[in-house]
Each structure stands twice: as structure tokens, then as C-alpha cells.
Amino acid sequence: MLRDITLGQYFPGDSIAHRLDARCKLILVVLYIAALFTAVNYGSYAFMIVVTGAMIAVSQIPLRAIVRGLKPVLVIVILTALLNMFFTQGTPVVKLGALTITREGLIRAAFMVLRITMLIAGTFLLTYTTSPIALTDGMEILFGPLKKIRVPVHEMAMMMSMALRFIPTLIEETDKIMSAQKARGADFDTGSLIQRAKALLPLLVPLFVSAFRRADELATAMESRCYHGDEGRTRMKQLHWAARDTLAILLGAAVFAAVLVMKHFGL
């Protein structure tokens, strides 16, 4: 189960999406999300599905990887769908005792599922095609102006890249602790939700203790390698803004504009 978490995973590759500048991709994701939340009706949704499909095709990320990334949020998607289905007023279609499913509810549920799915698929494309270093560097530069008002931008970017770096390590560790506890009779898979949540408690304690120990060792290792904040720090991989990045931004802006126009005409 834990292996399904693909958050922050990077698939090395050489597609156009991989070669775009990280800053460009960050801006594109913002535009994409804005467009997604502007879309209101069949026309604009269909358009966004085409756009998402095109993005996936361009990134050359296997569809399987994207579906796998969606698995952990399946519960949220289903829950949203059910809530929308049952609690939207309108023309009844099916009656289940006190609950009624309305036509409007069904449509809205479908829209919600599509929206969340596309939202996640689209943002996953960013982390799938951008190396974490480039991603955090990009964020650091984009938010750079905030340094003037003493926002610790570099520190936040560093923390993010560390968090991404340690996700697989901590997942491995969680698996190990779980196996060790299962071997001694712990039960994580049966019982009520509350019982299962309780069973996780003895898992979290050793995990936290070890995470703190790791953090301490990591800090010593970083200091040993002369880390002293971003003062005087250089980068091996410089970000390069190319013509294709400008083009991609224009394209992204055009998509957003198109959705705005569609909204205006009620599509």
C-alpha cells in the first residue's frame, strides 16, 4: 500500500516537458489550476480533458504511472462524488429511502471527479517531469523577491527538497517497522476504523524517534559538507529560460483565456 505513494517522484526522461524550465512549469501549473477551476460546463470540461491529455502525451509519462498516483486519493474522490450525488437539489432520478439522487447531483458529481482527477494528474506531471533540485531551485527563484521582506525562501526550498528526498527512505522505514510489529502480532488491517487508527500509534512513535535521529545526523553531515545557508552558494545546474519556455507560457495563457471565453458564453 505504501509503495503506491508516488508523491514527489521524478521520472527521468528527455521529453519537451522534461526540458522546459522548472519556473516555466511552475507557472504553467498555476495557469492550469486556474483554468480548471474556471471551467464550468460541458464545453470547457471537454476542452480541459483534451488539454490534460495533450500534456500527458507531451510529457511521455506512462498513463499507468499517473493512474497509480491517483490511487491514494481515490477515497477523497469517491467521497466527494457521493456527497455531491446525494446532496444536490434538483430533479430526482433514483430514490433510496430518505436519500434521493438527482440529475443535477449526478452531473455535478461527475464534474467534481473529473476536476479532482485532472487537478492531481496535472500537478503530478510537474513532479514527474522535473527533478526535485530543479523544482526547488525554480521555487526559490520565483519566490526570491520575498527574501527582501525577510521570508526565509532559501530555507523553505531546502526543507522541501529534503522532505522530497526522505519520502522514500521514510516509507521504507515504515514498512520495516510495520513488518516487525506484524511479526509480533500487531494487526493493522482488521477492526473498525478507530481500532485501526489506534494500531498505528505504536508505529508512529518509533517512526518519529528515528526521523529525529536521522534529522540530527543529516544536519551534521550537511555541516561537514560546508553547508551554511544560501550565502555565497552556487548551483551546478543553472536554470535556463529558453524561447520554448516563453512559448509554453503563451500557450498556457491562451488555454486559460479560452476557458474564460467559454465561461462567458456558458459553455
Partner 1 sequence: MEPIIKIENLHYLYPGDEIETLCGIDLELHPGTFTAVLGRNGSGKSTLAKHLNAILTPTAGRVLVCGMDTADESQLLRIRASVGMVFQNPDNQIVANVVEDDVAFAPENLGVEPQEIRRRVDAALRQVGMYEFRMHAPHLLSGGQKQRVAIAGVIAMQPKCIVLDEPTAMLDPSGRREVVETVTRLCREQGITVVLITHHMNECVGADRLIVMSNGIIAADGAPKAVFQQREMLEREGLTVPVTTALLQELRAAGMDVPTDALGIDECAGRIAARI
Which one, 62 or 229, has the nearer CB to partner 1? Answer: 229
Q: Does 86 bind partner 1 (CB under 8 A)?
A: no
Q: Which residues, in sequence order, are CB contacts of 9 under 8 Å at separation 6+?
A: 127, 128
| Candidates 26-34, 57-65, 192-200, 232-240; binding stretch for partner 1 (CB under 8 A) | 232-240
The candidate with the shortest Cα–Cα distance to 247, out of 53, 16, 68, 8, is 16
Q: Shortest Cβ distance from residue 254 to partner 1 (Å)? A: 33
Question: Per-residue x/- mask for partner 1, residues 168 to 207, rule CB under 8 A?
Answer: xx--x-----------------------------------
Q: Does 212 bind partner 1 (CB under 8 A)?
A: no
Residue of 162, 199, 203, 207 interacting with partner 1 (CB under 8 A): 162
- The alpha carbon of 232 is separated from its chain's Cα centroid by a whole number of angstroms, namely 32
What is the C-alpha radius of gyration for the chain, rounded to an integer number of angstroms?
A: 22
* Cell digits of residue 188: 493493522
**Other C-beta atoms within 10 Å of 190: how many?**
8
Q: Taking a C-beta distance cutoff of 8 angstroms, is the pair 113, 79 a contact?
A: no
| Candidates 47-55, 102-110, 128-136, 186-194; binding stretch for partner 1 (CB under 8 A) | 128-136
**Inter-axis angle of helices 132-142 and 153-183, nearest 10:** 140
Q: Does 240 bind partner 1 (CB under 8 A)?
A: no
Count of helix runs (H) and strand runs (E) in the chain: 10, 2
* Cell digits of residue 237: 545546474
Which one, 6 or 84, has the nearer CB to partner 1? Answer: 6
Which one, 163 or 199, has the nearer CB to partner 1? Answer: 163
Which one, 112 or 162, has the nearer CB to partner 1? Answer: 162
Residue of 81, 101, 121, 164 interacting with partner 1 (CB under 8 A): 164
Q: Taking a C-beta distance cutoff of 8 angstroms, is the pair 11, 97 a contact?
A: no
Binding site for partner 1 (CB under 8 A): 10, 12, 131-133, 161-162, 164-165, 168-169, 172, 214, 217-218, 220-228, 232-238
